[in-house]
Structure formats: structure tokens, C-alpha cells
Amino acid sequence: MEKSNDSSEYGFILVGFSDRPKLEMVLFIVNFTLYSVVVLGNSTIILVCILDPRLHTPMYFFLANLSFLDLCFSTSCIPQMLVNLWGPEKTISYAGCVVQLFSFLSVGGIECILLAVMAYDRYAAVCKPLHYMVIMHPQLCLRLVAVAWGSGLVNAIVMSPLTMTLSRCGRRRVNHFLCEMPALIKMACVDARAVEMLAFAFAVLIVLLPLTLILVSYGYIAAAVLRIKSAAGRWKAFNTCSSHLTVVSLFYGSIIYMYMQPGNSSSQDQGKFLTLFYNLVTPMLNPLIYTLRNKEVKGALKKVLGRQS
């Protein structure tokens, strides 16, 4: 039987922003700069959380994991996009596309669940302060992170092969700057409704369920903060949670807004920039948010840099 799918032999063409050639060099410079900040910022957070014993607490254990995920999230597609923006070649090998899709699905899923775990950590810190270290003991922290990683990897292990094995009848042009699942499913020349239904089911479990848990956690946190009589106490409790809430708003806000867009050409272009936002801008902002709003991280950073004894 003749092969109807030659993408495994020739790879894919990532259309990206090739319809706007004058914009490509500007995007290259901007994205290279932002990616450099992502690598520097998140690597610094990881290093500081490891080196400073004062940050060996559940909150910073989860923060180091978040920084590692942000680093992986951006690295899964931004270097390939920079190569494609720099030169006329817009191709990616079949193996490269598989790795990119798997990384994107797994890391994105892990981060969604990790943000819910971090919300539970903040709930324990604000609502159960006297029992915080008993509740968030090291074994529980490891199990929660293991659940996040396991869930994200299961999502990728199931959805990546199903997406890549869809027959595309020789179609190789991916209308995106990365091998994203919706863009690859749209290329299929067969009925892909079963794959879409399964993807929706995983989205409910990995995106909507953690978001619900985050909202419930912050509902309890808000009630606890309102019961605090002193303004200083309320401010301290708010400051404890504000960094995480800002990160959650940026990450989930961009994802939800993106997938609410209708499937027309203008929304597809908008979708590329939104994907770029939560794949590059959010990972760049996370270290800045936690560093600028957190005295402990700033103090640890100064100590690591040798600015204080």
C-alpha cells in the first residue's frame, strides 16, 4: 500500500510568521532577548532555592519546580522558532516535531497541576499557619510533585502518539510556529473527532479541575484574610499569596482566552501570539514576580551573589 503520510520521511513545515517577512527579524530580536531572560531568570531561581538553606521549605521547593518547568516549556519550542525566524528554512524533522509535541503537552500539563499544588500550599500557610509544617511535610510535597509530573506525562504519552499517527495525506504545513496539538489535528484528512474528544477529556482533568481547585483554595484564603483584624496581618497574608495569584492569572488567563477564540484566520494569527505569550512572556515574568515581591528570595539572591555575608 502506498504511504499517504510522508511527514515521517520529510518532516513538517512550520508556517509560523512567514506571511509577515518584515516582522520576522523584529520577532527574532525580541524573542531571543526574552528567551535569554527566561533562561537566566529561571536558572537563577533554581540555583538560589538549592543553595540557600533558608529556602529549603515547601513553598520554594514548588517554586524551583515551577522555574524548571518554565525553562523546559520555553526551550521546547523557542530555539526552533528562532532558527526558523533567522533563515529561509521553516522545517522541523518528524522526530523534532514529536519531541516538541510531547514536551509541550507534558510540561504544560505538569505546570497546570503544580499551580494547583502551590495554591494548596498557600491555603495551608494562611488558613492553617500553626500546623503548616505538619501538613506540608517533605513526603507530601514529593508526592504532590510526583502526581503533577505523572499526570502531565500520562497526558503526553497518550495524546502525542494519537495525534502524530493521524493520517494527513501528505500535508506537511503546520499553521503555527511549533508542533501544537490543535494545529496538527486540523491537518488530518480523516475523522479526528475521537482524538478531539479525548483531548477535551484530558483538558478537563488537567486544566479545568486544577483551576477549580485553585479558585476554591483562594476562596478559603480570602475568607481567612477577611477574618484577620489587623491591617498589617491582612497585608502580610495577601503578600504571601499575591505572587502565586499573579502567576496563575497570567498562565491560565492567556490559555483560556486563546482557546475561546473562533477558528478563523485572524484568530489563528492571534493564537500564535497568545501561544508565544504563555510560552515565553509568562516564563520570563515568573522569576521577576517572585523576586520583586519576595524579601526572602531577594535576600537569598544577594547572599548568593556575595553582596552580604
What pLDDT score does 305 carry? 67
291: exposed, middle or buried (Cβ count in 10 Å: 0-12, 13-18, 19+): middle
Question: Residue 157's closest CA among 206, 91, 210, 191?
Answer: 206
Q: What is the pLDDT of residue 306?
A: 66
Distances (CA, A) of 156 to 72, 147, 195, 199, 202: 14, 14, 13, 10, 10
Candidates 248, 258, 233; CA nearest to 176 is: 258
Provide the CB-side half-sphere exposure for 154 (13 A, CA). 13
Residue 89 per-residue DSSP state: -
Q: Can you count the helices (H) and strands (E) in the chain?
A: 14, 3
User: Is the separation of the CB atoms in 167 and 188 below 8 Å?
Assistant: yes
Q: Which residues of the chain have pLDDT under 50?
A: 1-4, 260-266, 308-309
pLDDT at res. 162: 92
Write down the pLDDT at residue 289: 77
Predicted pLDDT at 43: 92
Q: What is the pLDDT of residue 3?
A: 44
Please report the pLDDT score of residue 262 as a whole number.
45
Q: Is 132 helix (H, G, I), strand (E, B) or coil?
A: helix
Check residue 300 and give its pLDDT: 72
Q: Which helix (H) or strand (E) holds 12?
A: strand 12-14
List, in order of start, the domains of the chain with CATH numbers.
12-260+268-305 (1.20.1070.10)
